[in-house]
A = this chain, B = another copy of it.
Amino acid sequence: MANGLANNKLPNWRFFVEWSSESLGIIHGIKKIIFSGRSKYQEVDIVETYTYGKCLFLDGKLQSSIFDEWIYHEALVQPAMVTHPNPKRVLIIGGGEGATLREVLRHNTVEYVEMVDIDEEVVNLCKKYLPEFHKGSFDDPRAKLIIGDGRDYISSKKEEYDVVIIDVTDPLKEGPSRLLYTKEFYELVHQALKDDGIMVTQATSVFYTTDVFATIYNTVRSVFSITHAYHTWVPSFNSPWGFVIGSKVYDPLNLKEEEVANRLCERGVEDKLRFYDAKMHRALFALPLSIRKVVEKEKRISTDRNPVFVIYI
């Protein structure tokens, strides 16, 4: 053993770099490595970064940080849940950390939530190491966890759910979520929803993959009668992030600020949120002009034969 320690204050030596391209990346100084290994499906790292605190990385991509996971998860879940006047039965596809589940369970109208995730090891690691994310949601008697393929699961369901929330990794050419953004998939979702059901999906970076975001919007629109794209910034993702709502009856833009406030209050949600409230509801749907133009012009529909996917590099 040779070498040694530079000075009393140790400089950082453990770093994760999240590459957006081969010439743009975010450097995270790592305070502590809590878990690092490989599941059946992916590389998994649960670490404590100096700036964002506890984080989950899958295949080297930051999935969520304790610093701002509430922005992502409230933005994903709350607009759709609030838009439905009485959501009782909810299905989550993906959602490993349990934070999406947490947001759904906040609504006291909810009687039953199923969460279908393919990676049992990741779910178990999150249960063990990320209690601040799921806050015990997996133990809620209304929650049921199913380990399995989300698309297989939903294909046998008919008019069963009020809300379906799709919280999976970005579509990649060879990735497991490849066929969870296609027209055929959204038709299965449509079929699994009740007559007045509503769905929402994360829809990749608004800025770095605008064309994918626009294609997802256009694909949902080819299946649902009411469709809206919206977005918010998530600092640890280093980008404004996109979402798409597809709805059979209810339109989120028809809700007045007062009505949003009432629903949050009546359902016991109001005091639990940190990002979303009645004042934010409508603003989420305002896209910057340049993005709106791309979304409006998009003609492409993602299909099983020709699915859209993200190419970072």
Residues of A within 8 A of B (CB): 1-8, 10-29, 31-33, 36, 42-43, 45, 49-52, 56-64, 68, 71-72, 94-97, 167-175, 177, 202, 204, 207-208, 232-235, 237-241, 273-277, 279-280, 282-283, 285-286, 288-290, 292, 310-313
Contact = CB atoms under 8 A, between A and B. Distances in A.
B16 A288 contact: no
A63 B1 CA distance: 5
7 contacts: A1-B63, A4-B59, A6-B60, A13-B19, A15-B17, A235-B240, A277-B289
Instruction: Tell me the number of copies of this protein.
Output: 4
A63 B2 contact: yes
B12 A15 contact: no
A40 to B, nearest CB: 15
Contacts of A4: 58-59, 61, 169-172, 175, 177, 310
A274 to B, nearest CB: 5
A273 B290 CA distance: 9
Contacts of A289: 273-277, 279-280
Contacts of A168: 1
Nearest to A119: B1
Given A235-B240, A292-B279, A13 B17 contact: yes
Nearest to A126: B1
A23 B13 contact: no
A61 B27 CA distance: 16
Contact of A57 (B13, B26, B202): B13
Given A33-B36, A275-B289, A286-B279, A62 B19 contact: no
B21 A51 contact: yes
Contacts of A50: 21-24
B3 A61 contact: yes
Given A3-B62, A6-B19, A13-B57, 20 more contacts: A1-B63, A3-B169, A3-B237, A4-B172, A4-B177, A5-B42, A6-B60, A6-B310, A12-B60, A14-B15, A14-B60, A15-B16, A33-B36, A207-B235, A208-B235, A233-B233, A238-B238, A274-B290, A275-B288, A283-B285
